């Protein structure tokens, strides 16, 4: 194997010395990282472009193959993986440097949100008085909520993985004041540039519960692949809710008795809710209520259990949202009714089993 003749770099001309240098740089660049698979790349000097492309390609291929073989021999428990390497090492022949690209670590799990004062992520919630710039009122964070569910899961995971950053991708989201109970909501936590990839996931789950002071619980954590994010985002899941409703005025027991029959299986027409129409164009959606039952009734109060199609606005189904949702609980009861407490009881995510059995990333 000969280095291309026009190679202008001041690195060794002798191919075996060049290989030795590349090997030494790869070892140094990867030393702090845990990884079990890797892929090599070679970046050549620009002058190579004058050579026939096929010649350059063949030379690079041979260089990578030889270097990969040497590294595999040194790292007995690590191997080359072209499709999903944990680590990419790119040797720059001109500069004699190795650039490293660490594949993010993806953890799949389900979370329960047990607080009515916690956003899923902080992205949408700027502190209004300072428009997110930071002020005394928000301790210079620019945030309306000091912490999010993503932080309560992400921060301890980041520390364990010695990662640079985290992002939580949920299978949908609930409002800040809505709890998510039952089996919880599927999510993928993405940890960028992790130094550690083998985490004690049970210990992490225990740490999330303790660190969040009971506001968040996670279950079923497993390592997964990037593709899982798309799968949980695209899955439209029916959801089951429990809604505590305040009724203004006296309840007509006949109308209460008819509520379940009137709404179970009903097709709703829902215009974009008043509470979000300032940031979204108004459209009318059609959503089905699969089932609705009155489970408790007290003075001025009703508790409903509702199973509904993905994307149904539940608070609006109850209040009617000034006529923007038809039919509605309020409309059928003939008295103003609004949801004061909402819990997600179940997310019918049929793909969960398949995901947890997915091959390791």
- Give me the residues that bind Zn ion (CB under 5 A), please: 127, 130, 135, 137-138
Sheet of strand 87-92: strand arrangement: 79-80, 37-43, 87-92, 97-102
What minimum distance in Å lies between the beta carbon of 142 and Zn ion?
6
Closest contact distance (angstroms) between CB of 213 and Zn ion is: 24
Please say which residue, 110 or 127, places its beta carbon nearer to Zn ion. 127
Q: In this complex, which beta carbon is closest to Zn ion, that of residue 127 or of residue 324?
A: 127
Contacts of 285 (CB under 8 A, 6+ apart): 269, 270, 311
Give the residue among 358, 253, 270 at the shortest CA–CA distance from 309. 270
Q: Are 130 and 158 in contact (CB under 8 A)?
A: no
Residues 290 and 216 sit within 8 Å (Cβ to Cβ): no
- Bridge partners (DSSP) listed for residue 107: 189, 223
Strand partners of residue 191 = 105, 166
Q: Which is nearer to Zn ion, 135 or 262 (CB)?
A: 135
CB of 145 to Zn ion, least distance (A): 12
Spatial CA neighbour of 21 closest among 98, 82, 73 = 98
Q: H or E element: which one contains 184?
A: strand 179-192
What angle, 0 to 180 degrees and rounded to 10, lies between the N-to-C axes of helices 149-161 and 201-211? Answer: 140
Q: Residue 8: how many CB atoms within 10 A of its CB?
A: 11
Q: Given 175, 200, 252, 261, which residue is catalytic?
A: 175
Toward Zn ion, which CB reaches closer, 130 or 358? 130
Helix 53-74 to helix 15-30 angle (10° resolution) is 60
d(CA 194, CA 192): 6
How many C-beta atoms surround the C-beta of residue 334 within 10 A?
Answer: 11
Rounded to 5°, the CA angle 31-32-37 comes to 70
Q: In whole angstroms, what is the distance from residue 18 CA to residue 341 CA?
A: 67
CB of 127 to Zn ion, least distance (A): 3
Min CB(176)–Zn ion separation in Å: 17
Nearer to Zn ion, 29 or 135 (CB): 135
Residue nearer to Zn ion on the CB measure, 77 or 117: 117
- Whether 140 is catalytic: no
Active-site residue set: 175
């Amino acid at each position: 194997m000969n280095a291309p003749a026009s190679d202008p770099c001041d690195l060794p001309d002798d191919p075996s010395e060049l290989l030795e240098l590349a090997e030494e740089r790869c070892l140094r660049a990867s030393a702090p990282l845990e990884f079990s698979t890797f892929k090599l790349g070679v970046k050549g000097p620009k002058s190579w472009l004058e050579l026939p492309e096929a010649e350059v390609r063949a030379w690079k291929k041979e260089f990578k193959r030889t270097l990969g073989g040497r590294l595999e021999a040194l790292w007995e428990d690590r191997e080359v993986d072209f499709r999903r390497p944990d680590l990419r090492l790119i040797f720059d022949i001109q500069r004699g440097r190795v650039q490293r690209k660490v594949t993010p670590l993806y953890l799949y799990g389900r979370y329960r949100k047990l607080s009515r004062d916690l956003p899923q992520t902080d992205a949408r919630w700027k502190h209004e008085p300072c428009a997110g710039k930071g002020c005394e009122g928000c301790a210079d964070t620019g945030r309306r909520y000091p912490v999010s569910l993503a932080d309560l899961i992400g921060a301890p995971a980041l520390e364990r993985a010695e990662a640079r950053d985290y992002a939580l991708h949920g299978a949908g989201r609930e409002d800040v004041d809505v709890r998510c109970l039952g089996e919880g909501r599927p999510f993928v936590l993405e940890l960028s540039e992790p130094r550690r990839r083998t985490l004690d996931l049970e210990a992490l789950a225990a740490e999330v519960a303790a660190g969040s002071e009971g506001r968040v619980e996670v279950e079923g954590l497993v390592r997964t692949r990037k593709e899982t994010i798309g799968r949980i985002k695209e899955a439209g899941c029916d959801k089951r809710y429990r809604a505590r409703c305040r009724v203004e005025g006296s309840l007509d027991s006949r109308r209460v008795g008819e509520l379940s029959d009137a709404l179970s299986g009903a097709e709703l027409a829902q215009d974009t809710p008043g509470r979000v129409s300032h940031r979204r164009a108004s459209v009318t959606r059609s959503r089905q209520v699969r089932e609705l039952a009155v489970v408790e009734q007290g003075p001025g109060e009703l508790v409903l259990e509702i199973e509904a199609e993905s994307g149904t606005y539940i608070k609006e189904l109850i209040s009617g949202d000034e006529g923007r949702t038809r039919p509605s609980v309020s409309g059928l009861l003939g008295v103003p009714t609004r949801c004061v407490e909402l819990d997600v009881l179940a997310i019918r995510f049929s793909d969960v089993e398949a995901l947890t059995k997915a091959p390791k990333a």
